[in-house]
Structure 1
Amino acid sequence: MNSPTIINIIIAVALAVAGYFLLPVVAANLDPSLALALGLLLGGILVPVISSQFSGATAVEEQSDDENSKTLYVGNLPYRANEQAVQQHFELQGQVHSVRLMKDRRTGKRKGYGFVEMTNAGAEKAIQNLNDSEFQERTLKVRMAKDKVEE
């Protein structure tokens, strides 16, 4: 079972227990077992609706980000440049989703290249305006990133 399913079960049980304790208080002549059954019924109806509202919206948002974004390779970066500085430089061209600067695994020092994920329009503009431009006294190389080849 995945974690959203477990969360849904926990919410359904919590609603059933709440129904068991609260419904007899609200309706004094209601049998507690009937209150438990009503709580389970409400949980069975409400949990899928609630979880689809949250997870469905996130899934659509992530999907639209993937469809409307491109990853750029940025080479010849200054070794002193950090993610924030690169993000600020690229945000002048369009919305930046993420910045990943590569580091040497052994030493932890920057390798001088990285990847910037941007909107499609921003990526095109960044390639056009930032390729062969100066950034912190270095001439950047900006182009579309190639897909990583699985070995």
Structure 2
Amino acid sequence: MVTEPGPTLDDGVRELLLLMPRIVGRAKRTPPPPELDDVALAPRHLSLLAYLLFDGPMTVNELAGRLEIAPTTASLMVGDLSRQGVLERTEDPNDRRRTIVSIHEDKRPAVDAWLARGAKAWEEALRPLSPGERAMVIRTLKTFEQYGS
């Protein structure tokens, strides 16, 4: 197997230490669309909205599991975004004790447009990679998140 030449470990760490603040800065400078100007959105809300946008409505417990947070924390986030009109909670028709959370239809196009920018950037970055290389990038970023906090 022939491997492509690349940076040494130290050079790779240096490059990423210089790159990550620019990536984070760009993400922070990406304003929500005007339709969401009146909503107090924090970075923690992005993952929650992305799960609901890409995977559809789900319960608070399902959201908590995917976000890897406590159900009470997920419930607080859902309550906050529900009061601001971004999310809506409905009774599960199959089990009235459960509440289903979804993006409010009026806000869905704005949330979609906002998250689509990042999705397009990731598509461009990941497109030339093989499935195995994509998995390695994702694994690498997850490992960095785990040890970087």
TM-score normalised by the shorter chain: which range applies? under 0.3
Return the index of the structure with the highest Cα Rg: 1
Q: Which has the higher strand share?
A: 1
